[in-house]
């Protein structure tokens, strides 16, 4: 069974950058999808973006498009979230999650523990 764990969060000034890592243990299959989510204080958890384990398809929500980049290193079983031009609205707990395929028939059912990102003004 796949297990996920996030790391790389911390405190950064507005305009700065952070790179989060999502490390997967267990067997990850080629059709697997890793998504990034975040939850800010007083807000619902929201989807940030996702990447397929194989292929070139990457998706982002408008709020982070052009600032955040999702990439992967299959040899290390790790997905990265590179965050540039951070602003205080990006402050949240960031989670990675996995599902068995891109179809809406699949749901994100494997979650990491989260890592805190705090952006100061």
- Measured CA to CA, the distance from residue 105 to residue 84 in angstroms comes to 32
- Average pLDDT score over the chain: 96
**Counting every residue, how long is the chain?**
121
What gap in Å lies between CA 44 and CA 30, rounded to an integer? Answer: 30
Tokens of 100: 């068995």
| 33-70 residue pLDDT tens | 999 999 999 999 999 999 999 988 999 999 999 999 99
Number of neighbours of residue 58 by Cβ within 10 angstroms: 13
pLDDT band per the 50, 70, 90 thresholds, residue 27? confident
Strand partners, 60: 49
Separation in Å, CA 16 to CA 2, 62, 80:
32, 19, 17
């Amino acid at each position: 069974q796949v297990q996920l764990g996030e790391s790389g969060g911390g405190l950064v000034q507005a305009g700065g950058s952070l790179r989060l890592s999502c490390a997967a243990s267990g067997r990850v299959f080629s059709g697997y999808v890793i998504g990034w989510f975040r939850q800010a204080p007083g807000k619902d958890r929201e989807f940030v973006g996702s990447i397929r384990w194989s292929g070139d398809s990457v998706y982002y929500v408008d709020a982070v498009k052009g600032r955040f980049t999702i990439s992967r290193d299959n040899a290390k079983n790790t997905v990265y979230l590179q965050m540039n031009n951070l602003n205080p609205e990006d402050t949240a707990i960031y989670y990675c999650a996995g599902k068995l395929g891109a179809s809406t028939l699949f749901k994100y059912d494997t979650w990491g523990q989260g890592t805190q990102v705090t952006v100061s003004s």
